[in-house]
C-alpha cells in the first residue's frame, strides 16, 4: 500500500508540473514585453494566452523568408522536442528566434495591429475594426 501511495504522488506531481500555467510565464523584462510596452503601451498584450499568441505567430511566419522560417522551426525543435511541452515552449523559442533574426519589432507591430487588449493573463478581448 505505501508503494501505491508513492506511485500516485509521483504521478500527481508530474501531472501538475506539465499542466498549463494559470498565469503569464513571460518575464516583464523580456525583449518581447519591452517591445510591446514601447509599441502599444497599456494594451497588456504580454497577457495573451499561448493559443492567441500562436495564432498571431502563424500569420507572421508566413511573411518570413524560407531561411527565416527554418531558423524559427529549428529553434522550436531544439528547445522543445526533447521535453513534453506545449505552445508556451514553442512561443518562447519563436520569440527568441525573432529577436535573433532582428524581426521582433516587426512581429510586435503585427501583434499590436490585431486590436487585442488584455486586462489580466488570458483575459483578453479583440475589438472589431
Paired residues of 124 in beta bridges: 118
One digit per residue, pLDDT tens: the chain, 129 residues?
444 333 333 333 333 333 444 444 455 569 999 999 999 999 999 999 999 999 999 999 999 999 999 999 999 999 998 887 778 999 999 999 999 999 999 999 999 999 999 999 989 998 876
Distances from the Cα of 46 to the Cαs of 1, 7, 68, 120, in angstroms? 46, 38, 24, 9
To which H or E segment does residue 120 belong? strand 116-120
The Cα 103–Cα 97 span in angstroms is 9
The Cα 81–Cα 75 span in angstroms is 10
Amino acid at each position: 500500500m505505501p508503494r501505491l501511495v508513492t506511485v500516485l504522488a509521483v504521478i500527481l506531481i508530474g501531472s501538475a508540473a506539465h499542466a498549463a500555467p494559470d498565469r503569464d510565464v513571460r518575464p516583464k523584462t523580456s525583449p518581447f514585453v519591452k517591445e510591446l510596452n514601447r509599441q502599444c503601451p497599456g494594451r497588456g498584450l504580454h497577457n495573451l494566452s499561448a493559443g492567441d499568441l500562436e495564432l498571431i505567430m502563424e500569420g507572421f511566419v508566413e511573411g518570413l523568408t524560407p531561411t527565416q522560417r527554418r531558423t524559427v522551426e529549428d529553434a522550436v525543435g531544439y528547445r522543445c522536442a526533447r521535453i513534453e511541452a506545449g505552445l508556451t515552449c514553442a512561443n518562447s523559442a519563436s520569440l527568441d528566434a525573432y529577436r535573433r533574426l532582428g524581426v521582433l519589432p516587426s512581429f510586435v507591430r503585427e501583434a499590436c495591429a490585431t486590436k487585442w487588449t488584455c486586462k489580466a493573463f488570458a483575459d483578453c478581448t479583440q475589438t472589431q475594426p
